[in-house]
Amino acid sequence: MIEVGSPAPEFRLQRSDGEYVSLEGFRGKKNLVVYFYPKDFTRGCTAEACGFRDSYEAFKNLGAEVVGISGDNQQSHDGFAREHKLPFILLTDADGSVRKAYGVKKSLGLIPGRVSFIIDKQGIVRHVFSSQAKPTAHVGEALAILKTLG
């Protein structure tokens, strides 16, 4: 797994509207919360996404953007975002290459891992939080770290 203090691996992935989003696009502009999650519409992932949604204004006020990444396709992300009114970016990592670059392993060898990375404006990883069993804890953890970054 990528360690705190390391440069975050670059990525360029598609949103549900077909637009590409890259880490480079945020450099010098915003801190990022990049969270990897197992699957759209599952109980834990829905709770986690809705937690980020409910705190989205707080993230924006801290100068941060939230980016969720899973292996789900663009149509799944679009439906998930619409159904739960998610205001943040969901990206498709269909081949798992970005998940692999960040070192996010599967839980029990089966379930894609649930890991959040806080990345500062210079593209440096400032915090890593991994918890498959506590999906909603990722939101509070991310907010607490962002408050220290300024």
The residues annotated with a catalytic role in the active site are 45
Q: What is the rounded CA–CA span in Å between residue 138 and residue 150?
A: 19
Task: Single out the residue of 26, 21, 1, 2 nearest to residue 11, CA to CA.
Answer: 21
CA-CA distance, 38 to 68, in Å (whole number)?
Answer: 10
β-pairing, 89-92 vs 115-119, is unpaired
**What are residue 117's DSSP bridge partners?**
34, 128
What does the alpha-carbon distance between residue 38 and residue 70 come to, in Å, rounded to a whole number? 6
Cβ–Cβ < 8 Å for 89, 16: no
